[in-house]
Each structure stands twice: as structure tokens, then as C-alpha cells.
Amino acid sequence: MNALLQVENLRVEIAARKRRLVAIDDVSFEIAAGEVLGVVGESGAGKSVTGTAVLGLLEAPAVQAGGRILFDGRRIDTLSEEGMRALRGKEIAAVFQDPLTSLDPLMTIGDQLTETMLTHLPMTRAEGEARAGELLAEVGIPAPRERLQAYPHELSGGMRQRVVLALAFCCAPRLIIADEPTTALDVSIQAQILDLLRRMCRERGTAVMLVTHDMGVIAEVADRVAVMYAGRVAEIGPTRQLIAHAAHPYTRGLMASIPSMRRREKELTQIPGAMPRPDAPVAGCAFHPRCPQAFARCAAERPPAFPVGAARVACWLADPAFEGVPA
């Protein structure tokens, strides 16, 4: 794969009082140009931390303690704050769950769009303002010219997230990190925003890392999916393969819960037990206390990622040398 983004063996640690907790452990994945990679897992699995690391926005006490992040073949995790800021907004944009974290409450949305474009693109203010109006029209804001004068609080949540998308796309980024972009919205609005994100990415060939706890969202939008569990990638592969033949017992549990996905509270909670937290790590495979197929080796040794079709699966059952559980 010709990767636009490569995350290699990423490790993120959190400095706690007497020790360093491991939040992200040996996470590797890549995203091709124009591809949508869904990153799914329970809350606390490390999805957002991974996205934050890619954006170069990790904050103490969280630090990148290992691995590399490359964008377009160039290492970005070693860039200066200034270098990273130039990349963010221009080449890599972010969409977060709460539109108000992306929007400045004291600036009109027209000014925010215009200023962002003037920061990164060679254009005049008049050109920027004209483009801002076009962008609002593209994201489906009614009466876009008048709306340029509006402040974020004057818009509904759904309209604000449309503005955030306009802002994310205004400098024609090649990658968007979208972290639960529809979770804070009314269910009736969620599908509209997701459709808009998908359409804009398709039209522009923009790649997306779509972080969500909602397997239904992944099934609808993602080309490939990375399933995270306890700070690691349990399984990564084409969405269709994972839906049809998930190899990892955790992924299978997630897939079994898809039909009820639309009832928001129930997602991913149908596998009995809880995911281990960074302050109480589990030896061997982190999923073994909950895994219906666990056997002795699972508690003792951590499985590496084995290839299964076009997927990679961190489970001993996927080991080509696996010959069945010893009696």
C-alpha cells in the first residue's frame, strides 16, 4: 500500500505518581491516500490518544515513548511545534466530537474560515471571504452569505458541526482525523453529518482516520477498520472481511452487537466483563479474562499480529502454527 499515514510501533506512556502507565502499546497501522480507516473500540481503548498523537497534540502527562509517525513518507512525530502547526490545518485537519472545541466563540464563522485559509494558503482576504461563503454552501448551511456573520452559539449543534467540516476542509487537507464526529449530535442529525463527511472526502480524495465507538458507523463508512483493545490493535483489515469473517474473538463480539448499534447506549457493552485499564494491565493477551476461547497460553504470552487474509490479527488462534488447544 502506498501509505499517506504510517504509524509504526507507537507507544504512549502516561507519567503517574510513581510509575509510567502504558496507554498505547506497539500500535501500527497505515492509511492510504483517500482511504477511510475506522478506529473502533470501547472507551479507554486508546483510539483518541492515537489520533491525538498523530496530530502532535499529546499533552503531559502523556508522552510518545516509542515508535514513529510518518506522513507522506516524512517523519512528523519529531517535528517542532511550529512545524507541526504548519502541517495541522493545512495537510492534516481535525474534527472533534464537540464542535465548540474547534470553533472560537468570539469570532464569526466567516472570520474563522477566512483566517484559517489566510494562515495556510496564498490568497487575498477578499478571495478568502468569497471562498468561505462557498464552503458554507457546500456543507449545506442555508443562506450561507448571511451565516458568515453568525457566531458559533447562534447555530444549532448540527449546523456547528457542518461549519467544523467546512473549517476542516477549507485548506484541502489530505488527511482528516475525525474523533467521534457525530457522537454529540441528535441521532436524527448523525447520519446527515456522516454522509456529508463521506461525500466531501470522496469528492476530494481526502483520507480519514475515523475514531468511533460505534461499529454501525464503521460498517457504513470505513474501507478498513482497526479494532483497538487496551491500547493495542486487536485486529485490522478490510471492513468487509471483518464483518464477514472476523478472526479475533473480540472483533467477533463487536460484530455480534451491530444489529443493536442504533440504540446508542448498548454498543460494545455486550461482551461481559471490562477492559483492563492502564493502571491495572493484564499479562498475556489483554482480552483473555473476557475471551470465551482463551486457553493457557493466552494468560502467559502476548500474541503478536498474525496475517489472516488481508487482515492482521493479534490472537494465538490466528497463529499459523496453532494446532488446537492442548487437551
Q: Residue 318 is placed in which grid cell?
A: 490466528
Q: Under DSSP, is residue 320 helix (H, G, I), strand (E, B) or coil? A: coil
Picking from 78, 89, 79, the residue whose alpha carbon sits closest to that of residue 175 is: 89
For residues 287 and 82, what is the distance between their CA atoms, to the nearest angstrom?
A: 40
Among 6, 48, 50, 52, binds Mg ion (CB under 5 A): 48
Picking from 189, 192, 211, 212, the residue whose alpha carbon sits closest to that of residue 200 is: 192
Note whether 236 binds ligand SF4 by CB under 6 A. no
Minimal distance, residue 14 CB to ligand SF4, in Å: 24
Note whether 293 binds ligand SF4 by CB under 6 A. yes
Q: Which amino acid is at 174?
A: R
Number of residues that bind Mg ion (CB under 5 A): 1
Note whether 288 binds ligand SF4 by CB under 6 A. yes
Minimal distance, residue 47 CB to Mg ion, in Å: 6
Q: Are 50 and 31 in contact (CB under 8 A)?
A: no
Number of residues that bind ligand SF4 (CB under 6 A): 13
Contacts of 292 (CB under 8 A, 6+ apart): 249
287 binding partner (options Mg ion, ligand SF4, none; Cβ < 5 to 8 Å by kind): ligand SF4
For ligand SF4, give the closer residue by CB, 147 or 232: 232
Note whether 287 binds ligand SF4 by CB under 6 A. yes
Minimal distance, residue 246 CB to ligand SF4, in Å: 11
Q: Which amino acid is at 5?
A: L
Note whether 56 binds ligand SF4 by CB under 6 A. no
For residues 294 and 296, what is the distance between their CA atoms, to the nearest angstrom?
A: 7
**Candidate ranges 11-19, 42-50, 57-65, 75-83; the one touching Mg ion (CB under 5 A):** 42-50
Q: What is the DSSP string of 101-143?
A: HHS-TTS-HHHHHHHHHHHHS---HHHHHHHHHHHHHHTT-SS
CA distances from 157 to 161, 164, 183, 193, 196 (A): 6, 10, 11, 11, 15
For ligand SF4, give the closer residue by CB, 87 or 271: 271
253 binding partner (options Mg ion, ligand SF4, none; Cβ < 5 to 8 Å by kind): none
- Taken as a whole, the chain contains a residue count of 327
Among 165, 175, 200, 317, binds ligand SF4 (CB under 6 A): 317
Q: Which residues bind Mg ion (CB under 5 A)?
A: 48
By CB under 6 A, name the binding residues for ligand SF4: 248-249, 285, 287-288, 291, 293-294, 298, 303, 315-317
